[in-house]
Structure 1
Amino acid sequence: MHIAALVRTAATAIGFGAAVTASDPGQVPLGHSRGPQPQRRQPNVVFVLTDDQDVHLGSLDYMPLVKKHLLDQGTYFSSHYATTAVCCPSRVTIWTGKFAHNTNVTDVSPPYGGYPKFVAEGFNDNYFPVWLQQAGYNTYYTGKLFNVHTVENYNSPPPGGFTGSDFLLDPHTYDYLNSTFQRNGEEPRSYEGHYSTDVLAGKAYGLLDEAVEARKPFFLVAAPIAPHANVAMKLHSGPRDPDNLPFEFTEPIPADRHKHLFPNEKVPRTANFNPDQSSGANWITTLPQQNGTNVAYNDHFYRQRLRSLQAVDELVDGLISRLEDYGILEDTYIVYSSDNGYHIGQHRLQPGKSCGYETDVNVPLIVRGPGVARNYTAGGVVSTHADLAPTFFGWLGIEAREDFDGAAIPVTQEEIGGVRERGERREHAGIEYWGFAMGEGVYNRDPRENNTYKALRISGPGYNLYYSVWCNNEHELYDMKADPDQLHNLLSPSSSSSQSSTLAANHPVEKLASRLDALLLVLKTCTGKQCQHPWSSLHPDGTVKSLADALAPRYDAFYLNNREVASVKYAYCANGFIPEAEGPTWEDDGRAFGGYGYLKEGRWEDWV
């Protein structure tokens, strides 16, 4: 049925727009009582999930319709993080509420990742859309779900939990002018010559029509590929050859109507853009400075990204206008985010992702909906993709699962204020990666091995820090307030001789590093509540709930003594989650932290 055929009054008479009570057995969420409850409206959710969209390259500044409908009418979360800076592991985290070290989906393709790995790990009948259907919601999805979801395996098995779907399929997922979609149980269909985001928009609008006609609350996802690089498959077979890959990465392709936009835009010339001195750690310190031809190409790549996002901007406008026409806009949460961030030239890197730096892990998150403040930035709330599933559960009245690694994000000003008043700081984001990194432009695309690391972003009163340990056991620490471009590693070998006198966030580097390493040791293998409240593992008595608490002088001996006994270090570099490569874990070595002291009448005492 076309949207014009359904009037507003019909929408308000159906379950997703009408007040429901617990006496309606079809509308009682799992985990909730069927006893008398106040009437409330069952909200819907529309989630637009882009691919590789940045925060730090300013892409949102070029999306006026996203600004009009979402930023001006909703809340922007400036400290939202992808826990793994690459597509498939990040998306699995979104749809399970679990970090990649708990899903064991750590790459974009087998043996360590991709759709086959997702299925093999048992998630296809135990993840977000399945849980929503069990709670009485209809679920709809169009666009990219996971990597290696292909024209050959799309039905073996089909993705579980969807009322209606129209998936992009490999090997043409990232081919802007040669996409393949697969609707429900039908055969895949090629859309050669049609612009991928426009095809997806039509499908998203059609699924929205179906959702309205079904007269049930719904969750709809539209997942376009923009602004991901264009990837065309080559007619190539045989063993994998790094010098002759079976695919060709090039810059994104915009729709014809947008291809002449932004002719003079360039990658923001921040301090970390193609710097004169190398920066970072591990293989990144060996990167050569880009020459003028390379920089000019990367500026072109940047413009193509902005142009490719214009069709996404129009998609958002189309969804909002249709929700408004149906009379359900005010009963619907609209969420906008991306699976991971992106760099172009920062730290001398070619276009791509896969690093733990702010460009790659800090991603957009915008929420508009019931009770959400308009034109507001929630700058003090640190959140991750692991928090999205619990957040959706909270909106829809579904009890949070015990095995969620994330926790619901406070999205109203009242909720955010309540968290602050209770002193419940959301200050940390655990970040992890396994495998290789690869450039996605036409220069230096060779995969970089040994790109495995654990990292931590933490922000609170008086501190804003990034800490990482690479699989070659090099360490990084950046004071993000003094060095937002992450150019001056306070733990580099050249800095080690003066660490005791160097200050970050007004504390000696060694003091900070000892706390951050202990926290990262917990987070690298955490599960459930431990991920949400990692300081509780270090201080079970509840005296420490934040880095600010842990920095109290009485804990100096505790952390400095323990750092050498149990710290984050790798046995060797692996391309996937291999336990013996991961080095010490909290489960194995965390008890060492209990051997150096104890609290006595509120004072920290040494064991004797």
Structure 2
Amino acid sequence: MAERKAPNIVFIMADDHAAKSISAYGHGMNSTPHIDRIAKEGMLFNHCYVTNSLCTPSRAAILTGQHNHVNNVMTLNSVINNRGPNVAKQLRAHANYQTAMFGKWHLGEGPTHQPTGFDDWSVIPNQGEYWDPHFINPDEKEMKRVPGYVTDIITDKCIQFMENRDKDRPFFLMCHHKAPHRGWEFHPRHKHLYNDKITIPDTFTDDYKNRAKAAAVVKMRVADDLTYFDLGLAQPQGGRDVGAKLFDQVWSFPQRKVPHPEDVTKMVLRDSDDGTEFRFQTPEELAEFKFQRYMQRYLRTIQCIDDNVGRMLDWLEQEGIAEDTIVVYTSDQGFFLGEHGWCDKRFMYEESFQMPFLIRYPRGIKAGSVNNDMIQNVDFAPTFCDLAGISVPSFMQGVSFRPLLEGTTPETWEQLVFHRYWMHNDACHNAYAHYGVRDHRYKLIYWYNDDLGIEGAIPGGTEPEWELFDCQEDPLELLNVYNEPSYKDVVIKMTRLLEKKMMDIGDIPLHPRF
């Protein structure tokens, strides 16, 4: 019997795509039939988590298989050392893979920070644009603008690479979409979608009582912090047109926030596209309008990703290589869709901590499988190496979850995940620094609220705090039980698990030790 060839690997990653907005996860919010197909024909993970709920650090963890204090990519200000090892270099050097990356990079620009380990790549600078985006290409001094919509263009580049591949060698393709990152500029072909009201989360009007101070002071509320640009509204006194660049810097929002005054009866908002006017009677009505508008734009943007996932899957079928190709769909972290009133990420609270993860491999994964074991983005690179038939290199800290894909959970599998968010130049969001661990029932968070001397960081300004959530009894994470006498033993257990985990990965605990 001929030896089976190493599988092709197609890794599709969106930006800020919450698991709840993939219909395979069963929340009924929207319809994503092509992404769902990966789960239907493969496996869906319910407990995949990010090590740092922020774009740049997550991408570094995925590429290197290392935690951020090791790869030194801790904040949005960080850049990756492109001379360091990564998964693409391993697959190319040790398994003869062709490697490529197209789309969002967000790990630094300039010759010393561009992608390495890839035979072909074309990436958008910084956050990139939705329409007529610029791309940075190898050996070119100037960026080139490509006409069209960014999600379609990135998919075009991926398919072109696969069409021109060496058919005698396997390939590793990283398809990194910009969408549905903030700005939410959807394609007009999806404008008719999601006009019915979206169900408002139970925690939308959260008062943040019984929680750490961080929850109350963060600036990412749907009711208060979205801009005219975010919501596709005409900004009073001129403003910027829809389609203008959202960010002057990755942490700077030049557009004005849509005000949330007590007297809203005099407020008139206008659609930037067709001039439709919106009027309100109460602050609550205005807040709900912002939520519905936010969700419409967010979900319509996702619809173009789903269309293009369908294009990729259809191409693999038509090429006759679907059976020999691993297809992954994920996001660089989760995202708040109005839960706790929020519209961003950063926190270890469940909605931004949990990542979607769907994987299909007809030769190695049973169709329709659902997995409830705990994995993290730092585990992706080791798993790809394992599936490609090469040893997991010692520099990777993650663990291959290939046994989980094959339907077996090793007795030694660690049902524990770690998260750490470093405070940086984030005056826009005012998100406090924290770290913690979660197992299947409990989540322990230490808010140390300190910049630790990180370049460009803003000062902390509040005392450290602990949070413990019983995710079984309190799945919405509304009640901090850290100081409850009945949870004393749980606090001790989870703190010791946290300290052991930090010791295992080489991180430094800042909290008082038991």
Give CA-to-partner distance per residue, 1:101-148, whole Å, 9 cap, x none. Answer: 222210111xxx1xxx312xxx43411111111021110110012244
Name the counterpart of 1:215: 168
Name the counterpart of 1:384: 376
1:468 partner amino acid = I
Q: Distance in 2 between matches of 1:342 and 1:289?
A: 13
1:226 positional shift: 1.0
Q: Does residue 101 in structure 1 map to residue 69 in structure 2?
A: yes
Name the counterpart of 2:259: none
2:175 partner amino acid = A
Is the CA contact 1:278–1:286 (under 8 Å) kept in the aligned structure 2? no
Q: Does residue 416 in structure 1 map to residue 416 in structure 2?
A: no
Report the 3-state secondary structure (helix = DSSP H, G, I; strand = E; otherwise coil) of the residue aligned with 2:499. Answer: helix
1:273 positional shift: 2.2
Name the counterpart of 2:8: 44
Report the 3-state secondary structure (helix = DSSP H, G, I; strand = E; otherwise coil) of the residue aligned with 1:41. Answer: coil
Name the counterpart of 1:132: 91
Aligned residue runs from structure 1 range 350-429, under 5 A: 351-369=343-361, 370-379=363-372, 381-410=373-402, 415-419=406-410, 423-429=411-417
Aligned residue runs from structure 1 range 24-103, under 5 A: 39-56=3-20, 62-103=30-71
Is the CA contact 1:44–1:217 (under 8 Å) kept in the aligned structure 2? yes
Q: Distance in 1 between matches of 2:222 and 2:345?
A: 18
Out of 416, 439, 455, the residue aligned to residue 436 of structure 2 is: 455
Unpaired runs of 5+ in structure 1? Answer: 1-18, 21-38, 231-251, 439-444, 503-508, 532-566, 571-583, 594-608
Q: Does residue 118 in structure 1 map to residue 110 in structure 2?
A: no
Q: Distance in 2 between matches of 1:272 and 1:416?
A: 36
1:436 positional shift: 4.9
Distance of aligned partners of 1:289 and 1:210 in 2 relative to their CA distance in 1, 3 Å threshold: closer
Out of 523, 526, 547, the residue aligned to residue 501 of structure 2 is: 523
Query: What is the identity percentage for the equivalent residue pairs of Structure 1 and Structure 2?
Result: 24
Report the 3-state secondary structure (helix = DSSP H, G, I; strand = E; otherwise coil) of the residue aligned with 2:468. Answer: strand
Distance of aligned partners of 1:310 and 1:215 in 2 relative to their CA distance in 1, 3 Å threshold: same
Name the counterpart of 1:142: 102
Aligned residue runs from structure 1 range 172-191, under 5 A: 173-186=127-140, 187-191=142-146
Is the CA contact 1:436–1:447 (under 8 Å) kept in the aligned structure 2? no
Q: So what's the TM-score if we normalise by structure 2?
A: 0.78
Aligned residue runs from structure 1 range 206-605, under 5 A: 206-211=160-165, 213=166, 215-230=168-183, 252-266=184-198, 268-276=199-207, 278=209, 280-286=211-217, 290=223, 291-292=283-284, 293-349=286-342, 351-369=343-361, 370-379=363-372, 381-410=373-402, 415-419=406-410, 423-436=411-424, 446-448=428-430, 451-459=432-440, 464-471=441-448, 472-491=463-482, 496=483, 499-500=484-485, 502=486, 509-527=487-505, 568-570=509-511
Report the 3-state secondary structure (helix = DSSP H, G, I; strand = E; otherwise coil) of the residue aligned with 2:436. Answer: strand
1:44 positional shift: 0.5
1:331 partner amino acid = D
1:519 positional shift: 1.4
Is the CA contact 2:21–2:299 (under 8 Å) kept in the aligned structure 1? no
Is the CA contact 2:75–2:424 (under 8 Å) kept in the aligned structure 1? no
Is the CA contact 1:394–1:408 (under 8 Å) kept in the aligned structure 2? yes
Distance of aligned partners of 1:335 and 1:437 in 2 relative to their CA distance in 1, 3 Å threshold: farther
1:332 positional shift: 0.5
Name the counterpart of 2:454: none
Is the CA contact 2:13–2:175 (under 8 Å) kept in the aligned structure 1? yes
Name the counterpart of 1:169: 125
Report the 3-state secondary structure (helix = DSSP H, G, I; strand = E; otherwise coil) of the residue aligned with 1:298. Answer: helix
Give CA-to-partner distance per residue, 1:264-308, whole Å, 9 cap, x none. Answer: 242x43332222554531231357994422332122111211101
Report the 3-state secondary structure (helix = DSSP H, G, I; strand = E; otherwise coil) of the residue aligned with 2:11. Answer: strand
Distance of aligned partners of 1:189 and 1:161 in 2 relative to their CA distance in 1, 3 Å threshold: same
Out of 139, 152, 157, the residue aligned to residue 198 of structure 1 is: 152
Is the CA contact 1:180–1:189 (under 8 Å) kept in the aligned structure 2? yes
1:473 positional shift: 2.1
Distance of aligned partners of 1:272 and 1:68 in 2 relative to their CA distance in 1, 3 Å threshold: closer
Distance of aligned partners of 1:146 and 1:277 in 2 relative to their CA distance in 1, 3 Å threshold: closer
Give CA-to-partner distance per residue, 1:538-595, whole Å, 9 cap, x none. Answer: xxxxxxxxxxxxxxxxxxxxxxxxxxxxx9545xxxxxxxxxxxxx7xxxx7xxx8xx
Q: Distance in 2 between matches of 1:446 and 1:201?
A: 32
Distance of aligned partners of 1:166 and 1:408 in 2 relative to their CA distance in 1, 3 Å threshold: same
Q: Distance in 1 between matches of 2:22 and 2:162?
A: 30
Give CA-to-partner distance per residue, 1:356-388, whole Å, 9 cap, x none. Answer: 101001010001002211112102x10000110
Unpaired runs of 5+ in structure 2? Answer: 224-282, 449-462
Is the CA contact 2:23–2:33 (under 8 Å) kept in the aligned structure 1? no
1:326 positional shift: 1.5
Distance of aligned partners of 1:201 and 1:479 in 2 relative to their CA distance in 1, 3 Å threshold: same
1:418 positional shift: 5.0
Give CA-to-partner distance per residue, 1:490-515, whole Å, 9 cap, x none. Answer: 02xxxx3xx22x3xxxxxx1101111
Q: Distance in 1 between matches of 2:181 and 2:59?
A: 15
Q: Distance in 1 between matches of 2:338 and 2:179?
A: 19
Q: Distance in 2 between matches of 1:188 and 1:411?
A: 43
Q: Distance in 1 between matches of 2:409 and 2:302?
A: 36
1:174 positional shift: 3.6
2:103 partner amino acid = G
How many residue pairs match? The answer is: 431
Task: For CA contacts below 8 A with separation 6 or more, give which structure has more relative contact order.
Answer: 2
Is the CA contact 1:106–1:434 (under 8 Å) kept in the aligned structure 2? yes
1:254 positional shift: 0.7
Give CA-to-partner distance per residue, 1:151-186, whole Å, 9 cap, x none. Answer: xx1x3454211111111113xx34211411123323
| Higher Rg | 1
Q: So what's the TM-score if we normalise by structure 1?
A: 0.67
Report the 3-state secondary structure (helix = DSSP H, G, I; strand = E; otherwise coil) of the residue aligned with 2:339. Answer: coil
Q: Distance in 1 between matches of 2:192 and 2:467?
A: 41
The 10-residue stretch of structure 1 (52-61 or 127-136) with the greater mean CA deviation from structure 2: 52-61
Q: Distance in 1 between matches of 2:468 and 2:509?
A: 14
Give CA-to-partner distance per residue, 1:71-93, whole Å, 9 cap, x none. Answer: 21010011000110000100100
Give CA-to-partner distance per residue, 1:304-358, whole Å, 9 cap, x none. Answer: 1110111111111111111111111100100011101111332233x11101101
